[in-house]
Amino acid sequence: MALAWSWQYFLLSFSTHPFLRALLRGFAALTAFPLKYLDYFLIDRPGALDAASGTFFLGRKSDKEFTDRALVRSYRGAIQ
């Protein structure tokens, strides 16, 4: 979905005219709709973490110190 949104907003950046933007939004929807279905195939791949359009953190403050090196070691994406 992140790629589809990027494609849409890339096209929308070419115009400020409301009618042309509506046409561009429709063109983006027609040309990018198959991309959202690729998410189902890519969900378990490490590279999907790198391309996420949003992330969240749910946690609790701890008394234990988490070093920078430990943080880097816990990275699970595809970039090595």
Query: pLDDT tens digits for 5-35?
Result: 889 999 999 999 999 999 999 999 999 988 8
The answer to the question of residue 47 being in a domain is yes
Would you give the DSSP letter of residue 44? T
**pLDDT number for residue 24:** 97
Residue 62 resides in a domain: yes
pTM comes to 0.58
- Read off the tokens for 62: 């701890």
Structural domain for 68, as ranges: 2-73
**Total structural domains within the chain:** 1
Q: Is residue 54 part of a domain?
A: yes
SS3 content of the chain, % helix, strand, coil (to 5): 55, 0, 45
For the range 58-67, what are the long-range contacts, defined as Cβ-Cβ under 8 Å and sequence gap of 24 or more? none
